Amino acid sequence: MPISKLVGARVKRREDPRLIRGLAHYVDDIQLPNVLHAAILRSPYAHARIRAMRTDQARRHPGVVAVVTGNEIRDQVGCVPVASQNPTLRVPKRYVLAVDKVCFVGEGVVVVVAEDRYAARDALDLIEVDYEPLPVVSDPEKALASGAPVIHPEWPDNVAFRFDLKQGNLAKAFKEAERVVKQRLIHQRLAPIAIEPRGVLARYLPGEDELTLWSSTQIPHILKTQLSVMLKLPENRVRVIAPEVGGGFGSKLNVYAEEGLIGHLAIKLKRPVKWIEGRRENMQGTIHGRGQVGEVEVAVKKDGTILGLQYRVIADIGAYHQLLTPGIPPLTGLMLSGAYKIPALAIEVTGVFTNKVATDAYRGAGRPEATYVIERIIDRVAQELAIDPVKIRQKNFPRPKEFPFKTATGLIYDSGNYQGALNKALRLSGYQGWRGEQRKLREKGRYLGIGLSTYVEICGMGPSAAMPAGGWESGTVRVEPTGKVTVLTGVSPHGQGQETSFAQIVADEFGVPLDDIHVIHGDTAVVPSGIGTFGSRATAVGGTAVFQAAQKVKEKAREIAAHLLESDPEDLVFSESRFSVKGVPKKGVSLQEIALEAHLARNLPKKMEPGLTATSVFEPANFTFPFGAHICIVEVDPETGRIEIRKYVAVDDCGKVINPLLVDGQIHGGIAQGLGQALLEEVVYDEEGQLLTGSLMDYALPKAEDLPRLELARTETPTPVNPLGVKGVGEAGTIGSTPAIVNAVVDALAPFGVTHVDMPLKPEKIWRLCREKKERRAEGAG
Amino acid sequence: MPQKRVSLRINGRDYTHEVEPRLLLVHYLRDMIGLTGTHIGCETSICGACTVMLNGEAIKSCTVLTVQADGGEVLTIEGLGRAEELHPLQEGFWECHGLQCGYCTPGMILAAYQLLLRHPDPTEEEIRRGLDGNLCRCTGYQHIVDAVQYAARKMRESK
C-alpha cells in the first residue's frame, strides 16, 4: 500500500479554471451550424380538454420551420418513462406533448421550431388553443376524498400507488405505551432550482444514422437507453452527452418529455434543434420535490424509550409520474426509524395524483421527510415528558458495537457511532451554556431556541437489486503510451468535483502527479457504461470502480515490469511510479516505460493482451448510512416573527474523506437547501391548480444574507461496504439541517405553548402564531 | 423587424452590429459576440447569473436591451483575467472552493468585483449583503464569502 499523499488532502479543484474564466460549455453554450431553436407552448390550465387548435398563423410566421402538436406525433414518440417495481403502480400515459387533454399548468401542448429563438417565441403567441376547463384537484388530501374529480378516468380514483411496511408487534407497543404522542406534519413542495435551467440540443446525421443529444442531465447513460426506446432508434445509434451541467439536485435525474421531443424534431427536420428552458418553464415543468402530508404516532415509555411508531402519509405525486416518482415516498418509509432503535413500525404511503407537475427526487429524496418526521416527533416526546432532547436521543441510539444494525424497516445500517457525533456537536456548540443562556434570556422576555437533529441517511445507491435502474458503476483507467492517465467514469458530476477527487484516488495509486490524470465523464460514446450521479453515490460506487480499475492496471503493470526486469512479480516493489526489484532500487522500470511497452507490444509476457487499461464495474453489497448531529441556536423575535440563527454547528460522518474541501462544500450547500425548506421555500398552487410561485420573484431561495457562518466538524467511521470506506455526502447537509432549525424555533417558542409549526417558518407565520397564543392566554387569564 | 446599429466596447475590443431593438444584451453577448461565459438563470433580474459590468456598474444583462448599452463599455468574465494572470477574485474562488457547478460563478464574480470597487475592505456582513442580487444553489455562500475576502486582501496588498 503506497503512502497516501493526496487522498484526504484539501486539493483545490481541477474543474475550476474553465469555470472561473467563463470558458466552460453548458448546453446553451454549444454552437452548431444550422441550428434551429424550439419553443414550447404550455398549458395555462391545470385540467382541461383540448377542443381545437389553430396553428396556421404560427406556421406562416417568418423564420418558423415547423409547428408540431401532440396528436401529430403521438405514435412517433414513446411516452415519458417511469422506473418502478411497485405492483400497485398506476401509470397514466404521458405523451411528450399533450394529446386531447392537459393535466397540469405547464404541460407542453405545441412546439414551434424556428431559425432563431425570438422568432420561435413570437410564433407561440400566434397559436390558438380552445380549452374546455375540467374540475381541478390541487390538494392531495382532497384528491383522495370520495367524489373528488378523477384525473385519469382509466381508474376509479386518484390513487397512484400504495406502499405499506409493517414490522414488529405494533399493537403491543401501543398497549404497553405509557404515553402516545401524535403529530401531523406537512412537507411542503419545493422547487429544486438548479441555477442552470434544463436544456437539450440534438443533432441527427442521416448518413451515419446517428443521433447525438446534449442534455443538462445527471444520467446520460440511462437517458441514452430510454431515448432509444422513446424514439425507436437502435441504442447503438444514440449518443448522449452531458456537457457542463449547472446543478441538478435531482431535478436532472430524469428523462423528460423535451428530451424525446427535441431528439425527434432533429431527426424529422434533419437539422440540429436546441431547446433551452426558461425559468418560468422550469418552475412549471421540471419536477418538484417533497410534497407529503403525514400523521405520525409514537408509543413511548415515561423514560423516553420508543416502543413503536406509526406513520400514515399522503404523497402528492402530481399529474403523471416521472422517472423515479413512485420510488421517493417509500424511501421515507424505509428511513423512518432514523438513528434510533424502534422495535415496531407500521408505515402506510399513499401516492395521489393531483393536477400539478410531478414530484420526484430533490436533494435528499424521501430521506429529509423521514428525518423530519422522526426528529420532530422525538422532540415532541421530549417536550411532553420534560426530558432533555439530548437525553432522549441518547437513550434510543444503537451503540457502536451493535453495528451492523438491522432496523425494523429491514435495512442494515453499515457502521455508526451516533453518540460520538452528538458528543462532538454538544461540545463544539457549547450546548449546556446555551441552555443557561436560554433561561436567562427568557426571564428578560427574549426567546432563544436550541434545536438538535441526529440524523442517519441512506446513500451510496446502491445494490442493484434494490434500485429501479441499476446500482452499479463503471470505471476505466488507461495509461496512455506517453504515461498520461485517462480515467473514464460512469458517474456524471455537475459540481461535486469528481474530476478532482477521482484523480486524487488514481494519483495515489500510481504515484503520478495529479496533472498527469484526466477524468472524463458524461459522454456515452466515450465512457463505456454508467448509471450516473444521484443518491450520494458517485464516490462510494463510482470512486470505488475507478479505484479497482487502477488496481487492475497496476497488477498488469507489475506483470509487465517483472517480465522486463526478468524478475518475479512478487519480488517487485512499487514506489514513486516505478517498479523495482526488492533490495536493488536501481533495477527498475517506470509506469510510463511499462505503458509504452504495453502499447508497442513487442516484448510482453506470453498471452498477455497489449495495452495498459482496465475497467471495473463495482456492485455494492449494501447502501451506506452517513450520519451526524446538527445543532442550531436561534433567537425569535415574537414582535416581528424574525428568526435569527445565532449559531449552527454540524458534525457529519460520511466515512472516509477523499477531499475535505469538497466535503465541506457539499455540507454547506446541503445545509443551505435544508434551511431553505425550513424557513423560506414553498411551491404554492391555488385551488385551480395555478402555480402562484412561478418565478424567482415569488419563490424564495436562500441568499447569502439568509445564512449564518456554519461551523463544521467531522467524525470518521469508515463503511465496510466499499474498499475506500467512503459513504457519500451530497445530501447529508439537507437531510440533517431542516429538523435542527425547526426544532430550534419550536424550542424558542415553547413559553408560548407552541409544540409544532409547519414549514416554511416565514416571519408572518411566526408572528401570527405568537400573537394568537398570547391572545388565547390573555383570554384564558381574563 | 427594423434593425438598429449599435457600437460597444467589450472586454477592450470594439464591435459594431445591426441588431433588433428588442435584443437583450445577454443574447447579444452570447449569440452574436460568442461570449458564453455570461449565463441566463431566471429572466427576471433575481438570480444574477447574467451580471456584467456596463460603464463601471454591475448590471443584469438579461433585462437590459443591447440598444440601451449602445456606446458603452462592457466587461464580462472573459475579460477579467487571463489564464496566466487570474484576477484576484478568480483566484479567490479557486483557492477557497467558491464554486461547484460554476453556473452562477461569472455573475457572482462580477457582482463581487463591483463590491470590491466600492468597499475594498468589506466586512462579512457587507459581502453577504453585497451579493444579495446573486443566487447560488450549490455552495451555501460561505466559501464565496471566503473567496471575496481572499481577493480583497490580495487586492489591498498589491496596491
| DSSP string across B46-73 | SS-TTEEEETTEEEEGGGSBGGGGTT-E
B97 at interface of A, judged by CB pairs closer than 8 A: yes
3-state helix, strand, coil split of chain B in percent (to 5) is: 40, 20, 40
Name the CATH superfamily, with its identifier, for domain B88-157: [2Fe-2S]-binding domain (1.10.150.120)
Please state, in angstroms and rounded to a whole number, the distance separating the CA atoms of residues A512 and A498: 17
Q: What is the mean pLDDT of residues A49-78?
A: 98
Residue A631: band (very low, low, confident or very high) from pLDDT cuts 50, 70, 90: very high
Q: What is the pLDDT of residue A537?
A: 97
List the A447-456 sheet strands across, edge first. Answer: A447-456, A627-637, A642-653, A711-714
B12 at interface of A, judged by CB pairs closer than 8 A: no
Handedness of CA A411, A415, A419, A424 (dihedral sign): negative
Q: What domains appear along chain A, each with residue ranges and CATH number?
A: 32-134+204-275 (3.90.1170.50), 137-192+287-362 (3.30.365.10), 413-459+624-782 (3.30.365.10), 462-618 (3.30.365.10)
pLDDT digits (tens, 9 = 90+) for A321-341: 999 999 999 999 999 999 999
> Which residue among B30, B49, B93 sits closest to A195, beta carbon to beta carbon?
B49
- Are residues B101 and A246, on separate chains, in Cβ contact within 8 Å? yes
> Among A279-283, A459-463, A625-629, B25-29, where is mean pLDDT lowest?
A459-463
Residue A4: band (very low, low, confident or very high) from pLDDT cuts 50, 70, 90: low
Q: What is the pLDDT of residue A5?
A: 87
Percent of chain A clearing pLDDT 90 (strictly above): 98
Q: What is the mean pLDDT of residues A579-603?
A: 96
Residue B153 has pLDDT above 90, yes or no: yes
Chain A closest-CA separation from residue B87 CA (Å): 10
B141 at interface of A, judged by CB pairs closer than 8 A: yes
Residue A776: band (very low, low, confident or very high) from pLDDT cuts 50, 70, 90: confident
Please state, in angstroms and rounded to a whole number, the distance separating the CA atoms of residues A480 and A455: 45
- Are residues B138 and A669, on separate chains, in Cβ contact within 8 Å? yes
* Residue of chain B minimizing CA distance to A282: B42
For chain A, what is the mean pLDDT? Answer: 97
B84 at interface of A, judged by CB pairs closer than 8 A: no
Grid coordinates of A160:
397512484
Q: What is the pLDDT of residue A1?
A: 43
For residues A262 and A273, the answer to whether their CB atoms sit within 8 Å is yes
A17 contacts in chain B (CB < 8 Å): 83, 94
Chain B closest-CA separation from residue A35 CA (Å): 12
A697 contacts in chain B (CB < 8 Å): 44, 46
Chain B closest-CA separation from residue A194 CA (Å): 7
Residue B1: band (very low, low, confident or very high) from pLDDT cuts 50, 70, 90: confident
Q: What is the pLDDT of residue B110?
A: 98
Q: Is the ipTM of this complex over 0.90?
A: yes
For residues A294 and A141, the answer to whether their CB atoms sit within 8 Å is no
- Are residues B41 and A661, on separate chains, in Cβ contact within 8 Å? no
* Residue of chain B minimizing CA distance to A674: B140
Residue in this structure with the C-alpha cell 434500485, named with its chain if needed: A467
Please state, in angstroms and rounded to a whole number, the distance separating the CA atoms of residues A107 and A123: 18
Handedness of CA A439, A440, A443, A444 (dihedral sign): negative
B126 at interface of A, judged by CB pairs closer than 8 A: no
* Residue of chain A minimizing CA distance to B23: A118
pLDDT digits (tens, 9 = 90+) for A698-732: 999 999 999 999 999 999 999 999 999 999 999 99
pLDDT digits (tens, 9 = 90+) for A125-183: 999 999 999 999 999 999 999 999 999 999 999 999 999 999 999 999 999 999 999 99
For residues A704 and B127, the answer to whether their CB atoms sit within 8 Å is yes
For residues A569 and A559, the answer to whether their CB atoms sit within 8 Å is yes
Q: What is the pLDDT of residue A462?
A: 84
Chain A closest-CA separation from residue B105 CA (Å): 7
Q: What is the pLDDT of residue A779?
A: 82
CATH topology assigned to domain B4-79: Ubiquitin-like (UB roll) (3.10.20)
B137 at interface of A, judged by CB pairs closer than 8 A: yes
B141 contacts in chain A (CB < 8 Å): 668, 672, 702-704, 707
Instruction: Provide the residue ranges of all domains of chain B, joining segments of one domain with +.
Output: 4-79, 88-157
For residues A240 and A303, the answer to whether their CB atoms sit within 8 Å is no
Residue A782 has pLDDT above 80, yes or no: no
Residue A3 has pLDDT above 90, yes or no: no
B65 at interface of A, judged by CB pairs closer than 8 A: no
Residue A2 has pLDDT above 50, yes or no: no
> Which residue among B44, B76, B128 sits closest to A22, beta carbon to beta carbon?
B76
* Residue of chain B minimizing CA distance to A280: B42
> Which residue among A18, A117, A696 sits closest to B44, beta carbon to beta carbon?
A696
Number of CB atoms found within 10 A of residue A682's CB: 21
